[in-house]
């Protein structure tokens, strides 16, 4: 299998990536945007649109799980360069999103645009960045476990955070699986596949049939529950991120795509923009819907598909422009920031660091009321 660097931190395309995984990333982001488009209509759709909504919620709620499975399989390797590229890209598109939404909708929230990861502007990006930061310790821990220990640990975690929420409909975390705990479990599953399952061959035909069965089960259960039991209200308990059905379907799809290995420059180049598409699609989608380019119709799936492709094309072009214009600036800024961090690490005296912190606090203390008032204004 061709080695590939981490899924989310690789902003620019690399020559030797396995395009099978890159294609999977493109499909995942296509599905995620589709879900975001349909989301506002879930409690009012009927007829064919209702069946379409149920179907895509099962099919495409695997998106972020697939992202993290790929990250886990190849392993997140923390480095300053990757972290800086990740953060600078998030900052760029968060600020651009803020400008668009402030102009079009009168939105505030500059603080979230400046600190998108700390303020959880995009939940997956925040969770991913946390896992990125703690990855050396997580990887080291997982590497020390025997196969039996690893399996026991996964079984315990899967019961409390996937099986129980699906079967009992009672959540421990209360976040629907959109949080650190569930994605860390998914990362661990990806590592497990790499450690203990990498050389095991599985029939593509059997994987395809099994994946289809899991999806069909999820669609039927969600259709019955959301359409009949809940009388049109949209709880969709079997297609949340912490549904065991979604997890099994995601792992099955991942294993299926893992069976293939090929290279396509076009696929790899498009997939390199997936991260940027994820961060920026929200503002672009809101703008398009706001100005009447996406009215509710009986053929919702046609408009949704066209809109998703349009958003992906626009962001892809924008990302190429951003890379061309800001690549040198980012590289220069990266070196300067890295120099500052190295200087701080070189300061051996803790007293000096403490003095600097106290000095900063003393300078800001007289302005604390003004700072608090400004933060409230921004949020």
Over residues 120-146, the pLDDT tens digits come to 889 999 999 999 999 999 999 999 999
| Lowest-pLDDT choice from 32-46, 104-118, 304-318, 359-373 | 359-373
Q: Would residue 356 count as lying in a domain?
A: no
Look up the domain containing 141 and give its range. Answer: 19-327
Predicted local distance difference test score (pLDDT) of residue 9: 42
Predicted local distance difference test score (pLDDT) of residue 372: 57
User: Is the model's pLDDT at 41 over the cut of 60?
Assistant: yes
Residue entry with tokens 């076009």: 266
C-alpha span between 242 and 237 (Å, rounded): 9
C-alpha span between 275 and 213 (Å, rounded): 30
C-alpha span between 181 and 152 (Å, rounded): 17
Q: How far is CA 238 from CA 35, 62, 173, in A?
A: 15, 12, 17
Contact 61, 35 (CB under 8 A): yes
Q: Would residue 194 count as lying in a domain?
A: yes
Q: What is the pTM of this model?
A: 0.85
Longest dimension (CA), the chain: 69
Over residues 246-264, the pLDDT tens digits come to 999 999 999 999 999 999 9
C-alpha span between 117 and 276 (Å, rounded): 14
Over residues 270-310, the pLDDT tens digits come to 999 999 999 999 998 888 877 766 655 667 778 888 889 99
Mean pLDDT calculated for residue range 340-362: 62
| Lowest-pLDDT choice from 46-50, 155-159, 222-226, 320-324 | 46-50
Q: How far is CA 100 from CA 29, 131, 316, in A?
A: 22, 30, 18
Predicted local distance difference test score (pLDDT) of residue 370: 57
3-class DSSP string for 230-248: CCCCCCCHHHCCCCHHHHH
**Token reading at 129:** 């960045």
C-alpha span between 25 and 20 (Å, rounded): 9
- State how many domains the chain has: 1
C-alpha span between 208 and 224 (Å, rounded): 24
Q: Would residue 113 count as lying in a domain?
A: yes
Q: Would residue 9 count as lying in a domain?
A: no
Q: Would residue 151 count as lying in a domain?
A: yes
């Amino acid at each position: 299998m061709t080695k590939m660097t981490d899924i989310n931190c690789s902003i620019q395309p690399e020559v030797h990536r396995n395009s099978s995984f890159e294609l999977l990333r493109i499909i995942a982001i296509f599905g995620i945007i589709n879900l975001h488009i349909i989301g506002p209509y879930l409690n009012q759709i009927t007829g064919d649109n209702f069946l379409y909504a149920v179907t895509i919620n099962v099919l495409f709620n695997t998106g972020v799980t697939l992202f993290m499975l790929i990250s886990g399989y190849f392993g997140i390797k923390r480095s300053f360069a990757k972290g800086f590229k990740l953060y600078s890209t998030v900052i760029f598109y968060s600020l651009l999103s803020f400008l668009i939404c402030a102009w079009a909708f009168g939105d505030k929230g500059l603080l979230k645009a400046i600190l998108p990861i700390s303020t959880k502007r995009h939940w997956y990006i925040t969770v991913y960045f946390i896992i990125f930061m703690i990855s050396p310790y997580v990887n080291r821990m997982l590497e020390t476990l025997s196969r039996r220990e690893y399996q026991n640990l996964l079984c315990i975690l899967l019961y409390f955070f996937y099986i129980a929420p699906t079967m009992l409909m009672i959540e421990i975390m209360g976040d629907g699986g959109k949080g650190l705990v569930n994605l860390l479990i998914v990362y661990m599953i990806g590592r497990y596949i790499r450690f203990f399952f990498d050389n095991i061959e599985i029939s593509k035909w059997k994987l395809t049939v099994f994946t289809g069965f899991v999806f069909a089960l999820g669609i039927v259960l969600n259709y019955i529950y959301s359409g009949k039991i809940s009388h049109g209200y949209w709880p969709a308990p079997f297609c949340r991120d912490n549904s065991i059905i979604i997890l099994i379907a995601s792992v099955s799809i991942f294993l299926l795509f893992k069976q293939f290995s090929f290279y396509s420059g076009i696929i790899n180049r498009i997939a390199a923009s997936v991260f940027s598409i994820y961060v920026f699609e929200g503002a672009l989608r809101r703008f398009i819907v706001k100005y009447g380019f996406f009215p509710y119709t009986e053929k919702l799936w046609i408009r949704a598909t066209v809109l998703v492709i349009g958003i992906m094309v626009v962001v892809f072009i924008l990302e190429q422009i951003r890379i061309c214009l800001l690549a040198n600036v980012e590289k220069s800024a990266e070196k300067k920031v890295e120099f500052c961090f190295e200087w701080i690490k070189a300061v051996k005296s803790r007293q000096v660091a403490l003095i600097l912190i106290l000095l900063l606090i003393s300078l800001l203390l007289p302005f604390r009321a003004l700072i608090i008032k400004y933060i409230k204004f921004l949020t």
